[in-house]
Amino acid sequence: MEQKIETVDLAGSDFNFANEVAQTEGGQQISRCFSCGTCSASCPVRRINDKYNPRRIIRQVLLGLKEEVLKSGFVWLCSACYSCQERCPQGGRITDIMTALKNMAAASNCVPDGVLAQADLIKKQGKVYAIDEFDNKKRVKAGLPPLPEEINEIAQLLSAL
């Protein structure tokens, strides 16, 4: 079985992108990666979505594929479970790098609609999933304390954004 080799067009690369990431909070260790693949092998998101690949994202950063990384939406799939970070043989802080890339994408207005919708829900009601009277009746029936139906403090904090 012949393996297809994927080529990368570096014509539009921003070769300062890796330095830009390295100077961003959380991105300082981007250059530690030597593409061993441990991060991808330990990633629970990768097990569900084989298109998500932390090693590939870091490699794209190192190759200067800024627009492709920030606009792809893949950095937003990182669940921040730290599995990759705990296993990285180079001590790379991959979860922190993904957070730095999310921040850079947000600053470039490259935020997926689903993330924006969740942020809007959190701003409006203080959480993503609303708790209503019915949910609390089930909790009380199970012997659990009721949860607040509104978290005004969080909504108030985020209203300035």
Name which residue leads in pLDDT, 122 or 40: 40
Check pLDDT > 80 for residue 118: yes
- Nearest-angstrom CA–CA distance, 43 and 39: 6
Let me know the angle formed at the C-alpha of 88 by 87 and 90, rounded to the nearest 5 degrees.
Answer: 145
**Could you tell me which of 84, 83, 96 has the C-alpha nearest to residue 37?**
84
**Could you tell me which of 149, 158, 153, 154 has the C-alpha nearest to residue 130?**
149
Which amino acid does the sequence have at 121?
A: L
Is there a contact between 49 and 77 (Cβ–Cβ < 8 Å)?
Answer: yes
Alpha carbon separation from 10 to 14, 65, 99, 140 (Å, rounded)? 9, 7, 25, 59
Check pLDDT > 80 for residue 113: yes
Burial class (CB in 10 A: 0-12, 13-18, 19+), 84: buried
Check pLDDT > 60 for residue 161: no
Assign 89 a pLDDT band (cuts: 50, 70, 90).
Answer: very high
Which domains, from first to last, does the chain contain? 17-107 (1.10.1060.10), 113-158 (no CATH)
Counting residues of the chain whose pLDDT is more than 90, the rounded percentage is: 62
Tokens for 22?
């390295």
Name which residue leads in pLDDT, 52 or 153: 52
Check pLDDT > 80 for residue 38: yes
Name which residue leads in pLDDT, 161 or 10: 10
pTM (predicted TM-score): 0.79
Q: Which residue has the tokens 């659990």?
A: 144
pLDDT at 3: 76
Which contacts of 1-9 are long-range, i.e. CB under 8 A and separated by 24 or more positions?
8/63, 8/65
